Structure 1
């Protein structure tokens, strides 16, 4: 199935399916509110039938924006956005700790008939303006299948420490809050995903059981408002993530709001030494319909990395 790519320079890159549905918009224009941690994000993400599967600036967390790379606790800075968790004091509004991710350019934007490949250069900037890290980001839209009603987005990161001291990656849990290990690539679902069904390869459909767990993939399915339709979003690790700088765990909630993060520092901090680099690669599959465990597993098996 062919795709159509458009680029509003300085604003966003958008991908539309052959039927005219815009399935992805990647926004790299700086956000107006620094407290929400200015950084690029993907929103909206839609199924081929046009069902939106991302939320944007919900009233409970204005800094949740579609699908975005984050780091909630990074050497005392907050690249997640919003309030900062401080042990013994709870969540505090500390704007002086909120950093940003600056878009520096696109070394590559390559569109083929059914595939878009994007390479992006970014700089992670602390609140005081110091450049802390250089990121090479990769985005690939592929496997757009009208018959199956699905498409895939691959998202990769290579991060290099620009400081003269280690970068320490953590989460609210490493700072003392139980089972709140959110950080890393984060998805915020729309309101109609609240209370949706979450499952992994070998576990029951229960987000509470999956919180802090490990598995090669996790799926989230829900019924939409306004239309008689379901959709499914699948989050998958690339095989090489098993050998990454630090093991990952799932941060996942269905209630009171829907969210998933590939948390790279859920229970323990890890450090990236000066001038060193780490990398992760992820896949997000977006499908029409309420998929079950067997269908998700078969679909992922048929999508080579």
Structure 2
């Protein structure tokens, strides 16, 4: 099924797919203007082939939540998540001097084919004072557009290299002392009508609403989030999956009070990256029309290669 790309140079990349030419992805690399929100590229909106929006942008509860974005909530004392910073014993504080940013430096690859889109983006992670801390090579791929299944796939990869002369320490609010709040890494924020949706994982769930906390901090190859839309009759499902070679990570997942999922790379324990060293992850997000149960999710993922 055909894929079409519109590159608004200096601003965003828009990917259209399916027979209807639906804009399924807009990747915005010109950062939003507010530094406190941690200025960095993000993907919003994500839409199903049926045109249903499945990401939220700057919700009034967390203005720094923007669709799907790569973050680091606790990185050597800096906050690349955005917004308030967690300080043990004092709670969440507005500390703008801790909020860093991620700079788009360009695309080193940009390939549009009939059935897929692939790009490689070069980025720099910059701490609040202007020092460059890390170089990132980010891969984005849109593929496997399937009208019959009502689904398409976004692959998102990261290779991050420490360019400081000191180690980088990656953590989360949980490693800083707050229980079961290990958010960091690639984070998705759902739209308002996804609040209270159903969450499932292999052999677990579905859990609805507050019960989604049963999967908080767990590990599994994939996690699915299904919700019914306002205005339109019907459901949408997102599936979040790890590549087989990924270092084991934990899920940060909530359905209430806000719908959010993060591939947390430092939920319970910090890890460090020495100067000059790199780490890499590959992730997959399936965007589908309809309410998919675990059996359907598993069968679909088994039919995709990495």
TM-score category (smaller protein): over 0.9
Output the aligned Cα RMSD: 0.6
**Structure 1 residue ranges without an equivalent (≥5):** none
Inter-partner Cα distance in structure 1 for 2:93 and 2:235: 37
Inter-partner Cα distance in structure 1 for 2:229 and 2:32: 28
1:15-70: CA deviations, max 9, x gaps?
Answer: 11231210000000021000000000000000000000000000000000000000
Are residue 179 (structure 1) and residue 184 (structure 2) matched? Answer: no
1:113-171: CA deviations, max 9, x gaps?
Answer: 01000100000000000000000000000000111100000000000001111100000
Inter-partner Cα distance in structure 2 for 1:110 and 1:4: 11
1:196-229: CA deviations, max 9, x gaps?
Answer: 0000001122211100000000000000000111
Which residues of 2 match residues 95-174 of structure 1 at below 5 A? Answer: 95-174=96-175
Inter-partner Cα distance in structure 2 for 1:212 and 1:181: 7
Inter-partner Cα distance in structure 2 for 1:202 and 1:181: 23
Inter-partner Cα distance in structure 1 for 2:108 and 2:163: 20
Inter-partner Cα distance in structure 2 for 1:23 and 1:209: 31
The TM-score, its normalising length taken from structure 2, stands at 0.98
Identify which of 231, 235, 240 aligns with 2:236.
231
1:154-199: CA deviations, max 9, x gaps?
Answer: 0000000011111000000000000000000000000111000000
Q: Secondary structure at the match of 2:36?
A: helix
Which residues of 2 match residues 260-279 of structure 1 at below 5 A? Answer: 260-279=261-280
Residues paired across the two proteins, number: 301
Which residue does 2:287 correspond to in 1?
286
Inter-partner Cα distance in structure 2 for 1:190 and 1:304: 29
Inter-partner Cα distance in structure 1 for 2:178 and 2:304: 37
Inter-partner Cα distance in structure 2 for 1:187 and 1:152: 15
Which residue does 1:10 correspond to in 2?
10
Inter-partner Cα distance in structure 2 for 1:214 and 1:36: 29
Q: Secondary structure at the match of 1:208?
A: helix
Q: Secondary structure at the match of 1:157?
A: strand
Q: Secondary structure at the match of 1:69?
A: strand
**Structure 2 residue ranges without an equivalent (≥5):** none
Which residue does 2:48 correspond to in 1?
47
Inter-partner Cα distance in structure 1 for 2:118 and 2:225: 26
Inter-partner Cα distance in structure 1 for 2:4 and 2:106: 21
Q: Secondary structure at the match of 1:209?
A: helix
Which residue does 1:70 correspond to in 2?
71
Inter-partner Cα distance in structure 2 for 1:3 and 1:204: 34
1:97-119: CA deviations, max 9, x gaps?
Answer: 00000000001110000100010
The TM-score, its normalising length taken from structure 1, stands at 0.98
Which residue does 1:86 correspond to in 2?
87
Are residue 212 (structure 1) and residue 217 (structure 2) matched? Answer: yes
